[in-house]
Amino acid sequence: MYTVEDSYFERHLLRSGILLERDSALARDEKKNNRERMDAELNIYVGNLSYEVTEEELTTSFGAHGQVDTARIITDRDTGRSKGFGFVEMANSDEAKAAIEALNGTERGGRTLTVNEARPKEQRPDRRSDERRW
């Protein structure tokens, strides 16, 4: 694995006039393995959850369609109460897609679930920016 420390060390050696060669085959294999792992796993968004639904219930519901790695319900950091949505990670993307098809639009706890593939978290600007000083 190529770390921040490796990058620092490489830059230092290059500035010193020493040529450092990385094993490009190893780097290619590492990227390929990461890509395969990302293709195999799928993160699923589950919305419109009842506030009483637990992570164990999510695991059970999605477990009927395949192996569940993790199930998380997002909670308010101040009150600890559910925000009404969560995420499920499944080990196999085919099983995850089957679960999405089967569970999207179903009713749980008096609410119609919204189940789809999770989108990556968007970058937000830092709230403690120097531009907004008083």
Task: Quickly list DSSP for 11-63.
Answer: HHHHHTT------HHHHHHHHHHHHHHHHH-EEEEEES--TT--HHHHHHHHH
3-state secondary structure (DSSP) of residue 5: helix
Which CATH number fits the domain 38-117, given the four candidates 3.30.572.10, 3.40.50.1980, 3.30.70.330, 3.30.70.1230? Answer: 3.30.70.330
pLDDT digits (tens, 9 = 90+) for 48-104: 999 999 999 999 999 999 999 999 999 999 999 999 999 999 999 999 999 999 999
Cβ atoms 76, 83 nearer than 8 A: yes
Domain boundaries along the sequence of the chain: 4-29, 38-117
pLDDT digits (tens, 9 = 90+) for 16-55: 554 444 445 555 566 555 555 544 579 999 999 999 999 9
Cβ atoms 78, 106 nearer than 8 A: no
Tokens (6 digits) for 110: 């008096």
